[in-house]
Structure 1
């Protein structure tokens, strides 16, 4: 009797086990990201993915932006790079692809939800090697609303207004502009916005075709204005690294700071009570103020990854409306054309700012990718007076690779 009962139990258990679906193998994907200030917000999005895909875990490592490129280049060369890694859309992505470091994604992902500019930016000679999963950004001019209110001022929109405001603030003991300039990145963004105010989208296309030059008299004024802005920056700006400058800006040590839509999350992490507004960067001369827009790093799949299918699943989910709503509500602007911010005043102000004049960033395009590096290398010399605006503009022009007519 006991034997019969045990046999029945065993048979029942085996039947139940056979009817149950086999558990999918647990896979861990390593992912490198270059925004430590976003860590909690990014992890919340990854947690939502893992909740929907319990067999896939994302092992996120945050690396400060100043160290990211060096570590990634070393890891790629050594065959020790993560499954998923980010690079700027444009020449750097294409170089990684040509070196065999990245898996081609053409036709493997549905990118129909992307905004036109994002879809255009990831198209590398007809191939797709990476996709935007953590947003796009616009760069403009942040200002402390409380400081401006206390001074009875409104944000500047022109070169004359900016320089006059700079003098007024300095007279009252207020630092007009915080710029972390040690690596030349933020000053290069400033120059791009000044150039955008002069040439706009059509002029930028002409420059890429060789029909316009940075040395043209009207564009030369952008370099001259940038040099003058050096007098408005905080003491020691040229030795101020990004992280330190961001803290100074968030804590109100200056009234204004150039920055991107993605920077706001970091400002809030440093100072939860920060009260900022955003406007386009003042225009050169009588030109309208401008912003520049680009993608956050696009994500590539390591060609040596043993889990490429899972990596594709992750990238596809990250482009979904669910993921991109979290991106736009908590971090930065989205590349999904079907998603809008729920309640995010700063991102709404960036959208409004970009309606004045907006231009794509230099480094996403093959004709001007080298210009970005040259600008970074020479802004300090321009501010110090070791390089004239004419020489600065000439150096940038020498880096342009005009497209075929």
Structure 2
């Protein structure tokens, strides 16, 4: 009887000790600071979640709780959070005027000092990366990726017709002429969506006048009837209308229909961002036919062929109310090339210089394009419709479409309609 009592007492003692240990473990878990992340990267959720899991497993005192939203849902969620001054500790957001507004209202944490103290991180981001999330010489975010618009072409069509990818506007017109002579559609464009036409206009304006005229017009120092803008409009009209460079009926084509013409080999060229890679690589045989070049220069123009339309469209920032040291530690970890490699291997372009991509895991076209952008881009100029106020952005979209609608259109008159 005594033996049973002693055994029972020993079991109770062990049980109580075990409970004490569990209680202690729970207490330690509760002591860890939890950081909330709101992310718009729904398509890359799996990669981000893996990074969050690794962070949580390697940081006993810090934990990240990630939530994912589509674009519009995040915007709505942020508006509510801003109204209640309850932003998440970390969040992804788009560069530009809206992000600047968050900064100016004191809602975003200043990470300038941390960046300056980390020479490896500071020197590894491509030119313009930190600048896209900087205001008044202070930095507020780290870029997550690059958007770059390139001129894609069908190598098979070019080879069969003895053509070389154009490097100048004059060469582009010559290629268009030869393709038309051979009854091949030179360029496919989603005119119904407007912004693909604006890509063409913006590139021509930059190649002619450089980036300075747009910045001055944006700030109200000049208007869009300045000489380089008018010349860009005239050249766009020449290419699209007079030379019949754009596919017949392009003003009625939406994005899917226009892209399908390129994917089906029915158009020789396509001006589009790196996001088009996902459609190209779905068909391995087609992807092998795709080549790319930077947008052609304009003879006598100020624009550099290695300056691309696009930039660092999305980044990650921290709330001004967050624990700045803890939040930056998480921010640096989540934005590192090592943690985002799975995203870059599918076609998103890394904003970091020193990225060791695993070629065996990538489509050859994606690998080639990623390496080219990382090694050759000297800078970016932003999308006109995203860098202007909403009123002028819509006016510009309408104007660029109007310029290519009729052969007798008055380009300068159309551009004069873009006003605050």
Q: 2 CA distance for matches of 1:316 and 1:208? A: 33
Shift of 1:210: 8.1
Q: Secondary structure at the match of 2:152?
A: strand
Candidates 40, 49, 56, aligned match of 1:53: 56
The answer (yes or no) to whether the contact 1:140–1:353 under 8 Å persists in 2 is no
Q: Write out per-residue CA displacement over residues 312-353 of structure 1, whole angstroms, 9 at most, x where no aligned residue.
A: 665332322313444443333322344355541012333566
Indicate how the Cα distance of structure 1 residues 260 and 364 shifts in structure 2: closer, same or farther if over 3 A, else same: same
Matched length = 381
Deviation of 1:179 after TM superposition, in Å, equals 1.7
Q: 1:281-318 CA deviation, whole Å, 9 max, x = no partner?
A: 122345477332411223455789x9999876653323
Q: TM-score, normalised by structure 2?
A: 0.73
Instruction: Decide whether aligned partners of structure 1 residues 368 and 121 sit closer, same or farther in structure 2, where only a CA change above 3 A counts.
Output: farther
1:32 matched to which residue of 2? Answer: 40
The answer to whether the 8 Å contact 2:168/2:299 transfers is yes
Partner of 1:95: 101
Give the Cα separation in 2 of the matches to 1:109 and 1:249.
47
Taking a change above 3 Å as real, the CA distance of residues 157 and 132 of structure 1, as seen in their structure-2 partners, is same
> Could you tell me how far 1:186 is from its partner in structure 2?
2.0
Cα 1:126–1:282, aligned 2, differ >3 Å: closer, same or farther?
Answer: closer
Higher mean displacement: 317-326 or 276-285: 317-326
2: distance between equivalents of 1:309 and 1:259? 40
Q: Secondary structure at the match of 2:192?
A: coil
- Is 1:105 aligned to 2:113, yes or no? no
Shift of 1:375: 2.3
Correspondence for 2:372 among 342, 345, 349: 349
Asked whether the 8 Å contact 2:385–2:393 carries over to 1, the reply is no
How far off is 1:367 after superposition? Answer: 8.2
Contact map agreement 1:166 1:176 (CA 8 A) in 2: yes
Determine if the alignment matches structure 1 residue 224 to structure 2 residue 234: yes
Q: Does 1:17 align with 2:2?
A: no
Post-superposition offset of 1:123: 1.0
Alpha carbons 2:318, 2:331 under 8 Å: kept = no
**Corresponding residue SS for 1:349:** helix
Paired residue for 1:175?
185
Please, which runs of 5 or more residues in structure 2 have no aligned partner? 1-5, 58-62, 360-366
Return 5+ residue gaps in structure 1 as ranges: 400-405
Q: State the Cα RMSD in Å.
A: 4.1
Matching of residue 274 in structure 1 with residue 284 in structure 2: no
2:133 aligned residue (119, 122, 127): 122
Shift of 1:159: 2.1
1:198-347 equivalences in 2 (<5 Å): 198-200=208-210, 214-230=224-240, 231-269=244-282, 273-275=286-288, 276-285=290-299, 287=301, 290=305, 291-300=308-317, 314-339=330-355, 341-343=357-359, 344-347=367-370
Q: C-alpha offsets along residues 175-224 of structure 1, whole Å, 9 cap, x if unaligned?
A: 21122233322222222211221233567677778888754445532111
